[in-house]
Structures are given as structure tokens and as C-alpha cells.
Structure 1
Amino acid sequence: MDRKHFLQLSSSAAAGLAFSSCFGGKKSAGGGTIKNLGIQLYSLRDDLPKDPKGILKKVASFGYKEIESYEGADGMFWGMKNTDFKKYMTDLGMTIVSSHCDHTKDFERKAAEAGEIGMKYLICPWLGKQRNLDDYKKAADSFNKAGAICQKNGLRFAYHNHDYSFRLQNGQFPQDIMMKNSDPALVDFEMDMYWVVTAGEDPAKWMEKYRWRFKLCHVKDRKKDTPFKEGEENQSCIVGKGSIDYKTILSQAKKLGMQHYILEQEAYEKAPLECVKEGAAYLNQLVF
């Protein structure tokens, strides 16, 4: 699907959707429809390592309720023990639900630590474009193995996409290959909606195609009037300021299995903390 087709779809009125039923008609304390807005801590990658506790405290003040971490130099828990990190999150009124990590190294330990504090997911954040389609089947096999380790520890495994898996390669979508060759009992998927749109695909159609496989999403906006091409410079902007029609897309997501809505900021128009503060303000009042 080309960009023009996608924009026509995403700009159409959602007349056929019962918006009030998508999230049970409930609104969050912030006045919007998302109950527990999350943030991927990579959004604050330049600030977080300098003062993890101070930055997390600010994040909580912006109205975020869920945290998705990633592996920095001091691990997923930023120099704290897993149990101490959980306690600090609880004290701030937040929950760590997931983390991006390398599932090919020391994964048994990571899964055990995540399971001990009740995390829901460990997530592979990146594969890169593979040389051939069989390599995506091998990746799916590795996901199944990681999923079994996660299951043993009371959590689940997921894969986070970039644009390459939603671009045709030898006539097939790598995303299809990974989803068809991974076990739904063991592996879920985190849809980075920015990258799906950047590849010229429609997030809602993919969620419809694989109902209840996409359990988490990255909500990341795209600058208006920017070119869509493979290998382009990142064109993300403050959520709510760009071209992606999140009111329409997110209204469809819940009924198709989405459970966790996680803001991610990759490119900055101002200070990172200001970007994620504005994004939270937009999403916490968004009603759909």
C-alpha cells in the first residue's frame, strides 16, 4: 500500500466504530481514554543515565503510569536491584511492565529477574534487515526459545518492529514470516506504529490480520510532509504534532488486542523531557 492510500484510510471518519465501547467507555484520571499510558525510557537516553531516580520522578509527574525500560550500561534496572527498582516505581505510582533487551545473551538471568518483580514482557528491539527470508524463520525460532524461557518465569516474550519487516523482500513481508513461524502461545509482538507507517503500511490492517498478536505498541508521531523512503533519516516528532492519525488508529487497537500504549520519542525538536511531557499531555486527554 502506498502512502496516498494509507493517508486516505487514516484520515477517513471512524463512523463505523463504537468509540465508547473500545475501552469500555472509561476515561483515565487525565481525562482521556488510555488508562495507563507508558513510556519507553530510550526516549530519555541522554538524561536517564545521569540521574535515573530523578528522571523517573519527573516522568511520573508527567502522568505516565507504565515504564518500558531498555538495557543501558547499568542494565535494565539502571544500577538498582530488580526489587529495589520495582519498589521505587511503586513509590512513584508507576509499574515496569516490560523492557527491551538482548535475548541472545544471559537471557535466563534476565527472565528470572523480570519474572521476580512481576514484569509482563521482555522484548527483542532490533534484528536488522536479514540477507534472506530463511533468516527471518531462524529469528522466529529464536523467539520461540526465548518465549519458552519467559513462560517458565511467568512473563512473555515479544518482538518490536522497525520498517524493514514491513517492506517487501523477495515478494514477502518479513513480518509475515516471523509471525507465522512464531508460536502464539509463546510470542507476542510490539507494533511500532511510526515504523509501520514509514514503510507505507496501515497499522490497523496488520492488527486486523493478526488479531491478539500485537499486545503492545509504540506511539510515535511523524513529521508532516516528509518523504517516505527506505533508509531515511528519522522523522519522528512530538506525539500529537505530526501526521499520524492516532485518534483513528488507537480507536481500533483495543478491540484488536492492544493492551499497552507506550510513547517513544526518537528525534527531538526541543529538550527530551519537554518532548515527552507534551506527548503525555496529548495522549492523556485523547478521547476516541
Structure 2
Amino acid sequence: MQKVNLLFFLSLFFAAYCETAVAQKGKPLFPQTPGMVSYTYRASFAKDAAATLDTLQRLGIKDMEFSNLFGKTAEELRKLLDERGMKCSSFGVSYADALHKTAEVGHNAKTLGAKFVRVAWVPHEGAFTLTTAQKTVDDFNLIGKRLKDDFGITFCYHNHGYEFEKYEDGTLMDFLIKKTDPRYVSFEMDVLWTFFPGQDPAALLLKYPRRFRLMHMKDLRKGVAGNMSGSTPVENDVALGTGQLDIPAILKATKRSAIEHYYIEDESPSYATQVPQTITYLKSLKY
């Protein structure tokens, strides 16, 4: 009797699984509209921030990550955003400013409406080392606690490739993730700068599903070989789906992660034509 009941329940489970899989098939993989990193339109923002926001608005972009105030005050940028029904969810600053001007950074982020502050580069000479990684952990925990306690803002570190130097049975990126306090430090995954040093962005998301809160979406030109430098010519940024990264696999992994905001970042001088391509590609993806 127990065997019959077990077979019955297994058949129900299998039927439900198949039904879910069939129902899911054909659904949009990325139904939301992505955000935009201001660095993509850096030259345009430097000339005319209002007109640049108008361009982004026409593309359907409503969520911004600013890593520069472009000569304006945070109040002035916030006004431009509010007038267009747009928002800034993340504010990027330098390591030095995050550490030594934490109050100013927090005030600007709060004024912009950002819930996240991120740093995208750890100053270092040569290869990234354990000594630098340990200091980074200490500084990040301090910055994150100040931002959380004083402003209610979450601090994030954006990986840039050099952190994947081998360490013990993993990498120094594992060290940064494991040693930083999850109450005060989260991460922004740049998928290109995860792939470039030879890592799998989807696997890293699944390994640390609660630590990554933000994502930079970009693709690497086919034929370009990666390394640990954290640097490649900007022309090697290409529209999503035309490069080397398995974007569908990465996006599927995000469904099991804590990612809240997705930003397009395209450093290429061809961004004006590549960004619309990227948006069209994301809309085309199905399960």
C-alpha cells in the first residue's frame, strides 16, 4: 500500500513539474525594462544631462545608476529625474571618496534617491594580493556600516576581474565575499568582468545567491581573450547577444539570486546603436 501511495504521489509531482515546464516555455525571460549606467552615455551627459535623460526616456529607461554628477549638484540631477518620472537607484563613487568622504557620499546618494552606493575599483599595483584584499575587506565593512547606520543605504562592490586571482581552494573574490559582513556589504556583478578572467557568472550567482544585489549587463566581442588585468579596449564591449557571454544562462541564474536592479553598461563608442540592439535582444529572450 505504501509503495502504491509513493508511486501515486511521484506521478502527481511529475505531472505538476511537466505542467509548470510547459507553462513556462515561451514566457519572456527578461520581461522588465533594464536600467542604465550613466557611464554608457558619459560624453552625452557631460554636454547636456537633460537632453541625455530625454534620450534614455524615449528608450524606455526609467532606472539609473549614476557614477558621476556631471558638474551638477545631487539636487539638480534629482530634479531632472523627477521631471521625467525617472529614478536613481544606485550611486557609484571612488574607493577614496567612499572611505574618506562617506558622509558626503551618503548625503548625495540619499538626495538622488539611491538605495545603493557602489565602488567599482580597488586601487592596487600589479596583481591583486591577499594583503590588499584584507585591507579592502576592513575598509568595506567600515564604509558599509557607516552608510547603513547613518543613511539606511546598502554598500556594494562591483567586481572588475582582477579579484579572481587564485587563493586557497578558490579566488580572492571568494575571500572578499566570505570575509565582508553581509549586513553591511553586498555586491554588484559585472558579467563581463566576471567572464573576462575565466569565471562563469551564472555559477558565481548560484554559489552566492544572497550576496549580489545589482548587475551590470554587457557582452565581450567574440575572439577577444581575457586576462586578470581588469582592462580591455572599450571597443570590445558589444551589444548583448552578439558576444561571448551566455546571457540567457546568466539571467536564469538571477531568478535564484537577490539581484534587484539590472543596468546596461556599454563602454563602446558605438553605444548609440548598440544600446537599442541590447534592449531589443533582451525583449526577445524566452524560456
Aligned pairs (5 A) from 1:1-288: 33-71=30-68, 76=69, 78-102=70-94, 103-129=98-124, 132-151=129-148, 152-168=150-166, 172-231=170-229, 233-234=232-233, 235-268=236-269, 270=270, 272-288=271-287
Deviation at 1:180, TM superposition (A): 1.3
For the aligned residue pairs, the C-alpha RMSD in angstroms reads: 2.6
Q: Flag the structure with more relative contact order, 1 or 2, with Cα contacts below 8 A and sequence separation at least 6.
A: 1
SS of residue matched to 1:229: coil
In 1, the alpha carbon distance for the partners of 2:213 and 2:162 equals: 20
Q: Where do 5+ consecutive residues of structure 1 fail to align?
A: 1-14
- Whole-angstrom CA distance in 1 between matches of 2:256 and 2:187: 16
Larger radius of gyration: 2
CA–CA distance in structure 2, aligned partners of residues 79 and 204 of structure 1: 37
Bigger Cα displacement from structure 2, 103-112 vs 136-145? 103-112
The C-alpha deviation readout for 1:168-205, integer Å capped at 9, x for no partner, is 25775111111111110111100000011111111121
TM-score by length of 2: 0.81
Please list the CA deviations of residues 85-104 of structure 1 after superposition, one character each: whole Å capped at 9, or x if unmatched.
Answer: 22321322321001210213
Q: Give the secondary-structure state (helix, strand or coil) at the position aligned to 1:256.
A: coil
Offset of 1:117 from its aligned partner? Answer: 4.2
Number of equivalent positions: 259
Go from structure 1 to structure 2 and tell me whether the alpha carbon gap of 1:106 and 1:282 turns closer, same or farther (over 3 Å shift): same
> Secondary structure, in 3 states, of the residue corresponding to 1:45?
helix
Provide the identity percentage: 27
The residue type paired with residue 91 of structure 2 is S
Q: 1:60 to 1:286 in 2, by over 3 A?
A: farther
Alpha-carbon distance between aligned partners in 2 of 1:173 and 1:20, rounded to the nearest angstrom? 39
- The 8 Å contact of residues 62 and 281 in structure 1, kept in 2 or not, is answered as no
Identify the range of structure 1 (97-106 vs 118-127) with the bigger mean alpha-carbon deviation. 97-106
Q: One-letter code of the match for 1:81?
A: T
Question: Which structure has more helix as a fraction of its residues?
Answer: 2
Counterpart residue type for residue 119 of structure 2:
C
Distance 1:170 1:19, change over 3 A: farther
Post-superposition offset of 1:263: 0.7
Could you state the TM-score of these two structures normalised by the residue count of structure 1?
A: 0.81
Specify whether residues 211 and 18 from structure 1 end up closer, same or farther in structure 2 by C-alpha distance, changes over 3 A only. farther
Query: What 5-or-longer segments of structure 2 have no aligned partner?
Result: 1-17
